[in-house]
């Protein structure tokens, strides 16, 4: 998982892949393999999503990546701390 995380970070940092600065990268256990990558800037995430074919190279092998947007559910703290303004 560490090596995969490093390779993913390198891939998604590269501007030629639409990448940019990464705020957080987590490789999740289980099958199929999955990772969550949070970028410093929302526009970087949008560029990554627009690139049609991402391929990760590890040890001479190439692995196609499926890239999708992840929408996080708000935590109870975020919901409790929010306020709605009424007209």
What would the pLDDT profile of 31-57 be if each residue is shown by its tens digit? 888 999 999 999 999 999 999 889 998
3-state class percentages of the chain: helix first, strand second, coil last, to nearest 5:
35, 25, 40
The contacts of residue 61 (CB under 8 Å, 6+ apart) are none
Its pTM surpasses 0.85: no
Question: CA-CA distance, 54 to 44, in Å (whole number)?
Answer: 15
Asked whether residue 25 is domain-assigned, the answer is: yes
Q: How many domains does the chain have?
A: 1
- Domain with residue 27: its CATH number is 3.30.70
Question: CA-CA distance, 20 to 41, in Å (whole number)?
Answer: 8
User: Which residue in the block uniquely carries the two structure tokens 């390198």?
Assistant: 10
Indicate the length of the chain as a whole number. 87
Q: For 3-33, what is each residue's pLDDT tens digit?
A: 889 999 999 999 999 999 999 999 998 888 8
- Parent domain of 40: 1-65
């Amino acid at each position: 998982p560490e090596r995969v995380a490093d390779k993913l970070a390198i891939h998604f940092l590269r501007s030629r892949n639409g990448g940019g600065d990464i705020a957080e990268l987590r490789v999740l256990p289980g099958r199929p393999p999955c990772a969550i990558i949070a970028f410093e800037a929302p526009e970087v995430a949008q560029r990554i999503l627009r690139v049609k074919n991402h391929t990760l190279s590890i040890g001479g092998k190439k692995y196609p990546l499926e890239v999708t947007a992840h929408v996080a559910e708000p935590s109870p703290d975020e919901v409790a701390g929010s306020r709605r303004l009424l007209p």
